[in-house]
Chains A and B, each alone.
Chain A
Amino acid sequence: MNMQESEINEAFRAEVREWMAQHLTGKFAPLKHASGLGAEGYDAQLAKEWERELAKGGWTGLGWDTQYGGRNAPLSQQVIFHEEYVRSGGPGRIGHIGETLLAPTLMAFGSAEQKARFLPGILAGTDYWAQGYSEPGAGSDLAAIRTKANRDPATGEWVIHGQKVWTSWAHESEWVFVLARTEEASVPVASARHAGMVLLLVPIKQAGVEVRPIRQITGTSEFNEVFFDGARTDGALHLGPVGDGWKVAMYLLGCERGASTLGQQAHFRYELDLIIDLAKRNGTARDPLIRQRIAKADMGLQTLRAHALRSSREDTPFRVASVSKYAWSNWHRDLGELAMDVLGEQGELELKDPALAALQQLWLVSRADTIYAGTNEIQLNLMAERALGMPR
């Protein structure tokens, strides 16, 4: 990085910080440091208003190409934005599924009409998206999905039957992207299990869709079960070619594992700093074993950062990139346990102080990290078979 570049970046950092200080205040103040549903002060309607505020400030679609209304900001500035956003107490982003998962997939596979129809609403913070992938019988083995979609010969519309689970934010979303099987399969694919799929863009608020919240380990409901019983969507609202949905779905998952983790490390930093502050205040910072664990966590985060930087290039070997998800999810799970041990006996009580309650939430929420987007066990299989070439 040359000097000129770093000056530009520092100016950008100051700009983000100033904007956040001016806007995350007043009616938005309760959202400060609220990570998401269940967190103190997190109100979904207010969070959506906040998304529109961000959009007005030009902070959505930061990395998007200008032809889609984005700012085409370099990766370094996207990272800076995430860092400063979290540092300023920016709340959990209700729009991130649309912005960081669906939008890039639309840009890669969508038709001109689809892009024109959906990207502006995502950018403006007016349309929210849910992810319809996992099913009761298809978690890590996503290719085992059974939800069916076929076109009604009379109307040309897609008609969907089946069930999805772990559908984040479905109750707050207008749209869901649904991975389904179709008998319309015409594209030959090497593995039959991966053939005949389609990724559909489906309106949630309709008679054929029922959303039932799932009460999670945290006691709150961010996820849902979603039942499709003859739900309909326009015949042209499949993303990518019919039958090739697996490829599109995998591209979208690639976005989940890549760019959308940018903000994650900034959030991890914030959580770790809460723990360090607490340890200093309550005296656990003098416990030699806790000291070791805090130092380990701190350096571990720096290692995650180094690894992300090392693997951020397009020509990163799979061997290097494949360890990221396993590494960060286990690090974060350990951090949750450290948080509870630093809380000590206080951790057994329901805590009102938002900073302390956030640490309890961290302990519970981080149990999901090693499960979603491919469980630890699946990640280890992938590494062994694909990165190390061990036999199946």
Chain B
Amino acid sequence: MDLSLNEEQKMIAESAAVFLQEKSTTAQVRKVSETEGGLDRALWQEVVDMGWCSVALPEAAGGMGLGWRELVLLQEQMGYHLACVPFFDAVIAVTPLWKALSMSEKGLPVVERLAASGQICVLGMTVRGELPAAATVTVDGDTLVLNGQWNQVGSGSHADVFLLPATLPCGSLGLLEVSAKAQGLSVQALTTVDATRSSANVAAVNVSLTGAAVLVHGDALKKLWAQTRNLAAIGLAAEQVGVADRALNLAVNYTKERQQFGKAVGSFQGVKHRAAQMLVKVETARSAVYAAAFIADTAGDASDLTYFAAQARTDAAEAALFSTRESIQLHGGVGFTWEFDPHLFFRRAQAASQRLGTVEQWREQVAARLLDESVTEAA
């Protein structure tokens, strides 16, 4: 397992850092989150134009044919700069679907139409990452009729297209492509604690679709969903490493400047030790994320992927929670103010810690594999 970055990967990470440092300053992040519902349209367009959304798409589908190792480097920078773009919901979480679809003759045009278009396509998944089955599809002649509700859909209030799971008439689950403008579909934007991210409740009342709307179904969908959850968890972990690193950086910079008792507070051991403990969590979590991305790109074994995703996800979630909490503490009084930045990262860390399952849930998944006889991989 070679976890060092090659020249191309270094370039991807560095150029993303330079670009976002300019375009996603915390002043800009605050403006977008307070006045534009958490989506920086201009920034999204630039991200699309630079090809970041198709980095891991197969070349046959117009992508760069790279993989999770490259995606995590981009996503880490997205977290570091709290970029107000739906990169997680519309790129990381749906790339496994695009990859699967691009393998088939029927799916490839769908990928070309949706993934490469710059449209925001999001999955109707639960916050915990499960595949919801409550919505139903009935048949009316040649038409499919969709009814149901999907709560707290990430980036839902900005989506152009939804990819919604529902129970098909045959009883198996299907994933349906539904335009945000479809008649009968309503999107209710929610107010979020982390205002750099948007969320919406989506409801369908007698939405009419054609058979072509079913992108994937049955066992293929179950398998794809399990894989998607693992891969998305690795992407989310990368974002959390970025968040943790930034919180550390803010704290170090502040404590180098802030004077008390006649010297910089960063010279006190009690302060230094907390910063160093943040560093330990940031760097070990980063190693875990790189290892998981390596496995995502190279290993075929689904159970390995679950294990490495759990490892990256738990390390990174803890790093982000620890580092952002400590950052507020090390800022002292100003850390409690709206004006200073630590709370922006604290909010993101907390919100992300609930996405795709908690640290405890991932650990229990691993515990079951280690300790229980005959555990089969959850579909």
Residue numbers of A with Cβ under 8 A of B are 1, 276, 279-280, 285, 288, 291-292, 294-296, 298-299, 302-307, 309-311, 313, 319-320, 322-323, 326-327, 377, 379-381, 383-385, 387-392
Of all chain B residues, the one with the shortest Cβ separation from A273 is B370
B264-285 interface (Cβ within 8 A of A): 264, 266-267, 269, 271-273, 275-277, 279-280, 283-285
CA distance A352 to B35 in the complex (A): 69
Chain B residues with Cβ below 8 Å from A296 are: 314, 363
Task: Tell me whether B334 is interfacial, beta carbon within 8 Å.
Answer: no
B288 and A302 within 8 A (CB)? yes
The answer to whether A307 touches B284, judged by C-beta atoms less than 8 angstroms apart, is: yes
Establish whether residues A294 and B371, one from each chain, have CB atoms under 8 Å apart when the complex forms. yes
User: A96–B79 Cα gap in the complex (Å)?
Assistant: 44
In the complex the two chains form, is B2's CB within 8 Å of A1's CB? yes
Contact partner, B267, options A305, A319, A380, A391, Cβ 8 Å: A391
User: Can you list 8 A-B pairs, Cβ within 8 angstroms, ordered by A?
Assistant: A299-B363, A303-B287, A307-B287, A309-B2, A310-B290, A323-B283, A383-B276, A387-B279
Q: Select one of B248, B285, B366 contacting A295, CB under 8 A.
A: B366
A276 to B264, CA, bound (A): 47
Check A380 against B366 for contact (C-beta < 8 Å).
no
Contact indicator B2/A303 (Cβ below 8 Å): no
Q: How far is the CB of B206 from chain A (nearest CB, A)?
A: 44
Binding site for A on B (CB under 8 A): 1-4, 248, 252, 255-256, 263-264, 266-267, 269, 271-273, 275-277, 279-280, 283-288, 290-291, 307-308, 310-311, 314-315, 360, 363-364, 366-367, 370-372
Residues of A within 8 A of B255 (CB): 390
Contact A291:B371 (CB < 8 A) given known A306-B3, A307-B284: yes
Kindly state the separation between the CA atoms of A276 and B280 in the bound complex, as whole angstroms: 26
A390 contacts B371, CB within 8 Å? no
CB distance from A328 to the nearest CB of B (A): 10
Cα–Cα distance between A276 and B256 once the two chains are bound (Å)? 45
Asked if residues A299 and B371 are in contact (CB atoms below 8 Å), the reply is: no
Contact at A292–B367, with CB atoms within 8 Å? yes
| Cα separation A226 to B366 with both chains bound (whole Å) | 48
- Which 3 interchain pairs have the tightest Cβ spacing? A384-B272, A306-B291, A291-B367
A326 CA to B283 CA, complexed, in Å? 12
- A327-B284, A389-B252 in contact; A280/B279 too (CB < 8 A)? no
Residues of B with C-beta under 8 A to A313: 4
Could you say which of B272, B286, B311 contacts A302, with CB atoms under 8 Å apart? B311
Bound: A377/B1 CA distance, A:
32
CA distance A100 to B3 in the complex (A): 25
Task: Identify B266's interface contact among A298, A381, A391, CB under 8 A.
Answer: A391
Beyond A295-B363, A303-B284, list 7 extra A-B contacts (CB 8 Å).
Answer: A306-B288, A309-B287, A323-B280, A326-B280, A384-B276, A390-B267, A390-B271
Which DSSP category, helix, strand, loop or mixed, fits chain B's interface? helix
Contact assessment for B364 and A291 in the assembled complex, using a CB-CB cutoff below 8 Å? yes
CA distance A280 to B374 in the complex (A): 13
Q: How far is the CB of B294 from chain A (nearest CB, A)?
A: 9
Q: What residue in chain B is nearest A286 (Cβ atoms)?
A: B371
CA distance A1 to B363 in the complex (A): 30
Taking a contact as CB atoms under 8 Å apart, the answer to whether B275 and A302 are in contact is no
B363 contacts A292, C-beta separation under 8 Å: yes
A295 and B370 contacting across the interface, CB-CB below 8 Å = yes
A306-B3, A306-B288 given; A384·B283 CB < 8 A: no
A380 in contact with B272 given A299-B315, A389-B252, A391-B267 (CB within 8 Å): yes
Check if B288 sits within 8 Å of A295, measured CB to CB.
no
Q: Which residues of chain B are within 8 angstroms of A310 by Cβ–Cβ distance? A: 3-4, 286-287, 290-291
List, in ascending order, chain B residues with CB within 8 A of A285's CB.
Answer: 371-372
Contacts of A307 in B (CB 8 A): 283-284, 287-288
Instruction: Check B315–A390 contact: CB distance below 8 A.
Output: no
Report the Cα distance A379→B272, complex, angstroms: 11
- Residues in A whose Cβ lies below 8 Å from that of B288: 299, 302-303, 306-307
On chain B, the residues within 8 Å of A385 by CB distance are: 272
Contacts of B366 in A (CB 8 A): 295, 298-299
Distance (whole angstroms) from the CB of A268 to the closest CB of chain B: 15
A238 to B32, CA, bound (A): 66
Residues of A within 8 A of B286 (CB): 310
Q: Which residues of A contact B264 (CB under 8 A)?
A: 391
Chain A residues in 8 Å Cβ range of B310: 295, 299
> Which residues of B have CB within 8 Å of A279?
371
Distance of A308 from chain B, by nearest CB (Å): 8
Known: A276-B370, A294-B370, A323-B280. A380 touches B315 (CB 8 A): no
How many whole Å from A32's CB to the nearest CB in chain B?
A: 25
How far, in angstroms, from A387 to B272 measured CA to CA in the complex? 11
- A280 to B310: give the CA distance in the assembly, Å: 22
Which residues of A lie under 8 Å from residue B279 when comparing CB positions? 319, 322-323, 383-384, 387-388
Known A-B contacts A303-B311, A309-B1; the reply to A388 vs B275 at CB < 8 A is yes
Chain A residues with Cβ below 8 Å from B267 are 390-392
Check B291 against A391 for contact (C-beta < 8 Å).
no
CA distance A387 to B311 in the complex (A): 25
Q: How far is the CA of A235 from the CA of B290 in the complex (A)?
A: 51
Of B3, B256, B277, B280, the contact of A391 (CB 8 Å cutoff): B256
Q: In the complex, A363 Cα to B367 Cα: how many Å?
A: 22
Q: What residue in chain A is nearest B266 (Cβ atoms)? A: A390
Which of B252, B263, B285 interacts with A388 by CB under 8 Å?
B252
Complex-state Cα separation, A1 to B271, whole angstroms:
42
- The smallest C-beta distance from B12 to any residue of chain A, in angstroms, reads 17
